[in-house]
């Protein structure tokens, strides 16, 4: 399955030091979870959390959820031990390492090299474990294109709004909402689009970060809806109450999914010998061509990754 086809609509943050939350996360219908060694894990709890995380990954019970661990960023003293303990201890049961506060391509290369060493030393398949790069400050955003291409392991580019807002001195404490005083558009548009362009240019997934007002599910849905409308693939969830909204907002509607699959079938037929080798043709009242096929592929890819099943099917004309 290629990167693009692994659903990451809902990505659940789980503190790596909290066994209760880890056990709960196993039961939740998220596409991905990440066990956190960074900001949801107090400095004194980090050494113990590494062990808890290794045990939790090796115990299994995660179904087909993507299994990710967020390590600490390279400016701390914790990163190498986070990576070494987790990959050595549970590399076979891990899909990706999330690297926060990435600022340069070199930081991704450094992580790749360390992971490669561990894989070689322990007999793991080299390169299987991916990297998720979090963009959380101005330098990271400026370098996002180089970060996306720094290693073939990079699977996602993630927006970290809380750290980002702090790092650029944005005058607001409410993550995801517009800063008071800015009333001429969406203050996040440039950031989201820069991340999305880097992701799309290099076949990575673009993921939106957390929404902290966990009781405000309508607010979550609104902010997630904006990212989804632009083309993002998923968003973090911090609480079980946000999961349904994430899975729904980042899946195509049933009507759009059926329509996309029908465009693919119809275009396939119209361009064939039997269909008259046509490059442009009518599907009902709509003209479809190669560009329609490309748009349909995006919707159908997301629907298939989300496990959707088709409703009414288009069939070739019989006369």
Per-residue x/- track, 92-131, ligand GLV (CB under 6 A): --------x-------------------------------
**Looking at beta carbons, which residue is closest to Mg ion?**
163
Per-residue x/- track, 31-70, ligand GLV (CB under 6 A): ----------------------------------------
Per-residue x/- track, 82-121, Mg ion (CB under 5 A): ----------------------------------------
30, two tokens: 């998220």
Residue from 15, 89, 140, 210 binding ligand GLV (CB under 6 A): 210
The DSSP letter of residue 213 is -
Residue 162 interacting with ligand GLV (CB under 6 A): yes
**Least distance (Å) from ligand GLV to the CB of residue 165?**
8
Residue placing its CB nearer to ligand GLV in the complex, 96 or 288? 96
The end-to-end CA distance of the chain, in Å, is: 38
Q: Comparing C-alpha atoms, which of 220, 260, 177, 170 is closest to residue 10?
A: 220
Residue placing its CB nearer to ligand GLV in the complex, 234 or 252? 234
- Phi/psi at 66 (nearest 5 deg)? -70, 130
In angstroms, the CA 88 to CA 239 distance is 30
Place of tokens 């720094």: 150
Residue span binding ligand GLV (CB under 6 A) among the ranges 50-58, 73-81, 114-122, 161-169: 161-169
Residue span binding Mg ion (CB under 5 A) among the ranges 82-90, 163-171, 173-181, 248-256: 163-171
DSSP, collapsed to helix, strand or coil, labels residue 176 as: coil
What is the H or E stretch that residue 194 is in? helix 189-201
**CA distances (Å), origin 130, targets 27, 136, 194, 263:** 24, 19, 22, 33
Contact assessment for residue 288 and residue 267, using Cβ atoms and an 8 Å cutoff: yes
Q: Comparing C-alpha atoms, which of 59, 53, 44 is closest to residue 84?
A: 53
Residue 230 interacting with ligand GLV (CB under 6 A): no
Residue from 163, 177, 258, 261 binding ligand GLV (CB under 6 A): 163
210 binds, among ligand GLV, Mg ion, none (CB under 5 to 8 A by kind): ligand GLV
**Least distance (Å) from ligand GLV to the CB of residue 94?**
19
Site size toward Mg ion (CB under 5 A) is 3
Q: Which residues pair with 36 in a beta bridge?
A: 15, 70
**CA distances (Å), origin 233, targets 39, 70, 212, 281:** 23, 19, 19, 30
Residue 140 interacting with Mg ion (CB under 5 A): no
In angstroms, the CA 26 to CA 33 distance is 9
Residue 132 interacting with ligand GLV (CB under 6 A): no
The DSSP letter of residue 225 is H
CA 190-3-6 angle, to 5 degrees, is 100
Residue 209 interacting with ligand GLV (CB under 6 A): yes
In angstroms, the CA 68 to CA 74 distance is 18
Residue 163 interacting with Mg ion (CB under 5 A): yes
Site size toward ligand GLV (CB under 6 A) is 9
- Residues in touch with Mg ion (CB under 5 A): 136, 160, 163
- Residues in touch with ligand GLV (CB under 6 A): 100, 134, 136, 160-163, 209-210
């Amino acid at each position: 399955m290629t990167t693009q086809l692994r659903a990451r609509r809902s990505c659940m943050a789980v503190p790596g030091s909290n066994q209760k939350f880890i056990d709960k996360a196993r039961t939740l219908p998220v596409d991905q979870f990440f066990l956190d060694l960074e900001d949801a894990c107090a400095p004194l709890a980090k050494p113990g959390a590494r062990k808890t995380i290794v045990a939790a990954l090796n115990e299994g019970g995660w179904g087909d959820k993507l299994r990710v661990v967020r390590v600490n960023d390279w400016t701390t003293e914790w990163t190498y031990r986070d990576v070494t303990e987790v990959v050595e201890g549970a590399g076979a049961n891990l899909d990706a390492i999330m690297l926060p506060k990435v600022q340069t391509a070199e930081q991704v290369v450094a992580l790749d090299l360390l992971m490669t060493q561990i894989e070689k030393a322990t007999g793991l398949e080299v390169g299987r474990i991916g990297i998720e790069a979090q963009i959380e400050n101005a330098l990271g955003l400026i370098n996002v294109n180089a970060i996306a291409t720094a290693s073939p392991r990079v699977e996602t580019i993630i927006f970290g709004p809380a750290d980002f807002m702090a790092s650029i001195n944005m005058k607001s404490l409410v993550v995801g909402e517009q800063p008071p005083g800015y009333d001429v558009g969406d203050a996040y548009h440039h950031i989201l689009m820069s991340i999305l362009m880097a992701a799309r240019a290099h076949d990575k997934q673009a993921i939106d970060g957390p929404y902290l007002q966990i009781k405000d599910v309508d607010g979550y849905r609104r902010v997630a809806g904006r990212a989804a409308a632009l083309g993002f693939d998923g968003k973090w969830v911090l609480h079980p109450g946000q999961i349904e909204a994430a899975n729904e907002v980042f899946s195509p509607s049933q009507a759009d999914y059926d329509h996309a699959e029908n465009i693919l079938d119809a275009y396939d037929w119209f361009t064939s010998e039997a269909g008259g080798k046509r490059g442009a043709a009518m599907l009902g009242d709509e003209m479809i061509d190669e560009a329609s096929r490309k748009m349909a592929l995006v919707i159908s890819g997301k629907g298939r990754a989300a496990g959707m099943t088709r409703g009414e099917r288009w069939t070739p004309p019989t006369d």
